[in-house]
Structures are given as C-alpha cells and as structure tokens.
C-alpha cells in the first residue's frame, strides 16, 4: 500500500474533504478528521475507529493495525502500517472510520 493509494481510498468515500495540519494530511467529513497520513511516522497513517472496530481490525490484521499509544489509542485512534495492510481491509477500515465521524 502506498500513500497515494491511501489518499485515493480515503477520498473515494462520500463527502470526504482533504486538508493539512502541522505537516500531516487530514481527511475529514464535515469538521471531523477520521484519518491522517504521515503521522506519527512516514509510511504510517492514523484512522479513528471505535474501540470495538479497532480490536476487530487489529485481530484480523495484527501486523497492519495497532492502537496508538496512550489515551487516544484507548479511544480508537489506530496506527496503520501501510506496507503491511491489504487494500480491501484498509477500504473497510476507512469506511468504518468515516461512518464513526459522521455519527459524531
């Protein structure tokens, strides 16, 4: 998985807007960020899942998904290792994060 493919997948979701903040690329629905690229490290992304979804994806693809350290991770912030993630799995994870952002 490349950063370009990640961008295309995120932007293919309904009503998604692209922006940047503090050097990170952000993907939003309305005012809510559901994914960022380049954070915390190059080759990784962060998606904001529910804790339940985070656990499911981490179980399905443990080499690709891991909770972000600290309180954000406990609330569903999930690191995605792009080199390790399958496109179909990432597509589902991004859709879940986008749904969470639309529900508030």
Q: Concatenated DSSP letters for 77-97?
A: EEEEEGGG--HHHHHHHHHHH
Q: How confident is the model at residue 24 (pLDDT cuts 50, 70, 90)?
A: confident
Q: Give mean pLDDT, residues 62-77.
A: 96
Report the CATH number at residue 83: 3.90.1150.30
Instruction: Tell me the CA distances in angstroms from 20 to 24, 25, 74, one per residue in order.
Output: 5, 4, 24
Q: Identify the helix (H) or strand (E) that includes residue 104.
A: none
Predicted pLDDT of residue 22: 76
Predicted pLDDT of residue 23: 74
Q: Provide the domain count of the chain.
A: 1
| Residue for token pair 């370009």 | 4
Q: Give the residue numbers spanning the domain of 15.
A: 3-103
CA–CA dist 69, 87 (Å, integer)? 24
Q: Give mean pLDDT, residues 12-25.
A: 90
């Amino acid at each position: 998985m490349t950063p370009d493919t990640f961008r295309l997948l995120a932007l293919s979701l309904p009503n998604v807007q692209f922006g940047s903040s503090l050097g990170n690329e952000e993907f939003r629905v309305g005012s809510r960020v559901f994914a960022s690229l380049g954070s915390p490290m190059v080759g990784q992304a962060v998606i904001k899942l529910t804790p339940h979804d985070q656990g499911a994806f981490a179980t399905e693809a443990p080499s690709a998904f891991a909770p972000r350290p600290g309180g954000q991770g406990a609330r569903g912030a999930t690191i995605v290792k792009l080199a390790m993630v399958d496109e179909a799995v990432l597509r589902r994870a991004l859709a879940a994060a986008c749904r969470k952002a639309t529900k508030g």
